[in-house]
Structure 1
Amino acid sequence: MVDIANRVHNHNWKIDPIVRSLIDNDFYKLLMCQSVFRNRPDTQVTFSLINRSKQIRLTELIDEGELREQLDHVRSLRLTRGESTWMRGNTFYGQRQMFRPDFMEWFENLRLPPYHLEKRDGQYELTFEGPWPEVMLWEIPALAVLMELRSRAVLKDMGYFELQVLYARAMARVWEKVERLRQLDGLRLADFGTRRRHSYLWQEWCVQALVEGLGPAFIGTSNCRIALRRDLEAIGTNAHELPMVHAALARTDEELAEAPYRVLADWHEEHSGNLRIILPDTFGTEGFLKRAPEWLTGWTGVRVDSGDPATGAETAIRWWQAHGEDPREKLIIFSDGLDVDRIETLHAQFRGRVKVSFGWGTLLTNDFRGLAPGDGLAPFSLVCKAVAADGRPTVKLSDNPNKAMGPEAEIERYKRVFGVGAQEALEVVV
């Protein structure tokens, strides 16, 4: 077991770089990257860092030189032979050779493209531009770098004893959560905490705690490097990025309305089984399901990632029932802002009605609330999103208007095209 406090106290980033590998990334990014490589390799995309928690002034916490050093390190990474062997030969979701030879040859030679960094109004403007398959792989590393540099900034003046106590308290907090969760009969839970983790070492510790504490109820991790190192299942399917970019490329309202379904048609050709999970909330869940083609009702499940999670799940259940599908044979994955209380409530409400799984993120791998002076380690909402495709702005509506993004005029157009009416605004914690 790594002595995290000692490593933090004696930090040398050349020993502990924030991002350690090109597969220190979420599994869904690699799956989506292969799909983009196949279907839209020449699309030019811009990703941008967005800090929703404006009160966290990152330029006052994080040294620009350290940030550039870490980002430059990410650009130096290459896929290792062992990592390539794992991707080429491992079984994912019951399927061997998930990653095709042409994609693997490209990935083995990949170097992430340059970044652009500026300071503005207390925040870092960090952008990445270039071919979609290359640029999209910056999202998770960029977030991990910013989050861990913030953690390091808060911890840098603490002594070894103080750090030992802080991490002991954080470990006790995680274990108390584990003890509650293992009381839930039939629980299925995965680690989704890479993007806003406290640190790589802490995420790995949390995963080890779940392995020991939950046993078979812990089904895997989204982090590919940790999955490889710990011989765990790599977990993940697809994200909002795909429909956002495809929608931005639409030239008419009619093409726009069809864009989310064209994305899933491509996915349908490429994947089967538990990889056929619908993420319906990009432009509003209710409208998406109302207009969805019949073949989508046969997919394995739905991921609920914004808005009130119980409402989203009930909407999916009604949709399946209306189309003659048995919800008890379907899977609902909850993944938005989860912590133990919400997991317990949703598990009790939906177990037996559907198959239920949880993707536990920031409040697993970055719950240091109240443990540092001034609550300086409290998690905050930092994202890195595709903001343009071939020069056209992207839009995300979400089921929570506080998560909406894009130019105001385009947001209104998308609401009209997708029939989105009044929405309940919910606090975005993480």
Structure 2
Amino acid sequence: MATLHSLLDNDFYKFTMQYAVIKLFPRAQARYQFINRGKHEFPAGFGNKLREAINQMAGLQLTAEEKSFFAKTCPYIDPTYFDFLQGYSYDPQEVLIEQHGSSLAVHIQGYWYRTILWEVPILSLICELYYEMTGLRRNDDAEVADIVRRKMDKYDELDITIADFGTRRRHSYAVHDLVIHTLKNHPSSTFIGTSNVHLAMKYHTKPIGTHAHEWFMFHAAKYGYKMANLLGLEHWSDVYRGDLGIALSDTYTTDVFFKQFDKKLSKLFDGVRHDSGDPIEFAEKTIAHYRSGGIDPLSKTIIFSDGLDYKKVEKIALFCQGKIGHSFGIGTDFTNDVGLPRMNIVLKMTETLPEEGEWTPVIKLSDEPMKHTGEPEEIDMAIKYLQIEDHE
């Protein structure tokens, strides 16, 4: 039976965003919705099994050992946050699950500072339950570990650094645990950490991440689309004062982002993260942006994290070499390369209620139009308002 093993079995950026939300927007509320991009068909009873697993999450609590690890790892976060996290518990009543035939619906609603932690573990539970209930047999542990080792041997030759970003669409906890164990024990310095805080603690490696699209989506709802990136990054820097300095660039397309990523922010942040669209085109735009501000691109870093495999990583690394710093966050190609079809599912914020005002729909305008999320009317309005051309 799929289950979570720790409150920290989640992506690092969920906790860093939660801390920022508590400090700046403690009364904001949010709604999230499951999106079945891959049109997967769920077996009978799946919704009930998912409900059981989510109900069990209410019993998860931060242990004293976990609290000590997290606080020691993140000295830039106030100790009051770790006290809060020690008292935090998931409230399953915030999650509505419905199944009609083979179709699954999941909706989440509550205070943003609470509901922000649901997305990643629910997606990982959906994946694990799907493979359990459909009876699909994966490669055995020796094969999975061998696949990881062979990939790492090839990555070592590129002289790059990589991290695991594969929690949300992993095959299972057991596979994820095996992958991190294998990566940690690989005889090179290529592997530098994981987005999963629980596994970072278990394997004495670094938890990696900063923020996600929902941070900027909320800012757009509260302050408007033209201020979303600017104020999102200003507020981030107000909270973290220079730490966690990788800026996510594609919530409202890269072109719009760079218009708002002014010289102050370009100097303050260590780099940017690429998560959609052509990676080489993105690298070219990023290099040009830094050069136009008199900033040496080699002093900055791009974190590439969009559906990576070896072929894509090799192409990107060869292009970026000697031009700009680069590193890679690899997701399902590590945690769900087990001889089975991979799931294509997401769970996104759909609406937010800031401290004042009313429920406001939120959207994402990816550099890849097929990855837009939100109401079509709102997407069309934002495209026109932001004067985004050729992005229908």
Q: 2:70 aligns to what SS in structure 1?
A: helix
Match of residue 133, structure 1, among 113, 119, 128: 113
| 1:104 corresponds to | 82
- Once residues 26 and 241 of structure 2 are traced to their aligned partners in structure 1, the CA distance between those partners, rounded to angstroms, is 22
- Once residues 303 and 384 of structure 1 are traced to their aligned partners in structure 2, the CA distance between those partners, rounded to angstroms, is 20
Match of residue 174, structure 1, among 134, 148, 153: 148
Kindly provide the amino acid, as one letter, of the partner of residue 86 in structure 2: E
CA positional deviation for 1:259: 2.1
Alpha-carbon contact 1:178-1:214 (below 8 Å) kept:
no
CA positional deviation for 1:260: 2.0
CA positional deviation for 1:64: 2.7
CA positional deviation for 1:117: 0.8
- Once residues 158 and 130 of structure 2 are traced to their aligned partners in structure 1, the CA distance between those partners, rounded to angstroms, is 34
Match of residue 70, structure 2, among 87, 105, 108: 87
- Once residues 166 and 328 of structure 1 are traced to their aligned partners in structure 2, the CA distance between those partners, rounded to angstroms, is 42
| 2:195 corresponds to | 222
**Where do 1:204-353 residues align within 5 Å?**
204-213=177-186, 215-250=188-223, 255-273=224-242, 275-298=244-267, 299-353=269-323
CA positional deviation for 1:272: 4.5
- Once residues 257 and 121 of structure 1 are traced to their aligned partners in structure 2, the CA distance between those partners, rounded to angstroms, is 42
Kindly provide the amino acid, as one letter, of the partner of residue 171 in structure 1: A
Q: 1:137 aligns to what SS in structure 2?
A: coil
CA positional deviation for 1:166: 4.0
Describe the shift of the 1:62–1:198 C-alpha distance in structure 2 as closer, same or farther (beyond 3 A). farther
- Once residues 283 and 308 of structure 1 are traced to their aligned partners in structure 2, the CA distance between those partners, rounded to angstroms, is 15
Partner deviation per Cα, 1:318-374 (whole Å, 9 max, x = no partner): 100111000011101000000111111111110221111000001110013xx3xxx
Describe the shift of the 1:409–1:214 C-alpha distance in structure 2 as closer, same or farther (beyond 3 A). farther
| 1:195 corresponds to | 168
Describe the shift of the 1:51–1:211 C-alpha distance in structure 2 as closer, same or farther (beyond 3 A). same
Q: 2:201 aligns to what SS in structure 1?
A: helix
Alpha-carbon contact 1:281-1:398 (below 8 Å) kept:
yes
Q: 1:384 aligns to what SS in structure 2?
A: strand
| 1:407 corresponds to | 375
Describe the shift of the 1:229–1:153 C-alpha distance in structure 2 as closer, same or farther (beyond 3 A). same
Residue 144, structure 1, aligned to residue 124, structure 2 = yes
Alpha-carbon contact 2:229-2:260 (below 8 Å) kept:
no
Residue 48, structure 1, aligned to residue 68, structure 2 = no
Q: Percent identity?
A: 34
Alpha-carbon contact 1:61-1:153 (below 8 Å) kept:
no
CA positional deviation for 1:102: 2.5
Partner deviation per Cα, 1:101-123 (whole Å, 9 max, x = no partner): 22222221112232111124632
- Once residues 150 and 134 of structure 2 are traced to their aligned partners in structure 1, the CA distance between those partners, rounded to angstroms, is 25
Q: Which runs of 5+ in 1 are unaligned?
A: 1-12, 372-376, 425-430
Q: Which moved more, 1:62-71 or 1:28-37?
A: 62-71
Alpha-carbon contact 1:331-1:356 (below 8 Å) kept:
yes
- Once residues 182 and 390 of structure 2 are traced to their aligned partners in structure 1, the CA distance between those partners, rounded to angstroms, is 42
Match of residue 123, structure 1, among 103, 114, 133: 103
Partner deviation per Cα, 1:58-89 (whole Å, 9 max, x = no partner): 2x26633321111111122111111111122x
Describe the shift of the 1:110–1:119 C-alpha distance in structure 2 as closer, same or farther (beyond 3 A). same
Alpha-carbon contact 1:62-1:153 (below 8 Å) kept:
no
CA positional deviation for 1:26: 0.7
Q: 1:258 aligns to what SS in structure 2?
A: helix
- Once residues 354 and 205 of structure 1 are traced to their aligned partners in structure 2, the CA distance between those partners, rounded to angstroms, is 33
Kindly provide the amino acid, as one letter, of the partner of residue 91 in structure 1: T
| 2:14 corresponds to | 29
Q: 2:99 aligns to what SS in structure 1?
A: strand
- Once residues 74 and 363 of structure 1 are traced to their aligned partners in structure 2, the CA distance between those partners, rounded to angstroms, is 27
CA positional deviation for 1:273: 4.6
Alpha-carbon contact 1:198-1:365 (below 8 Å) kept:
yes
**Structure 1 residue ranges (4+ consecutive) displaced by more than 4 angstroms after TM superposition:** none
Q: Which runs of 5+ in 2 are unaligned?
A: 354-358
CA RMSD of aligned residues (A): 1.8
CA positional deviation for 1:146: 0.2
| 2:351 corresponds to | 388
Alpha-carbon contact 2:141-2:178 (below 8 Å) kept:
no
CA positional deviation for 1:418: 2.0
Partner deviation per Cα, 1:269-293 (whole Å, 9 max, x = no partner): 2224561112111001012202333
Kindly provide the amino acid, as one letter, of the partner of residue 285 in structure 1: T
Match of residue 397, structure 1, among 353, 365, 368: 365
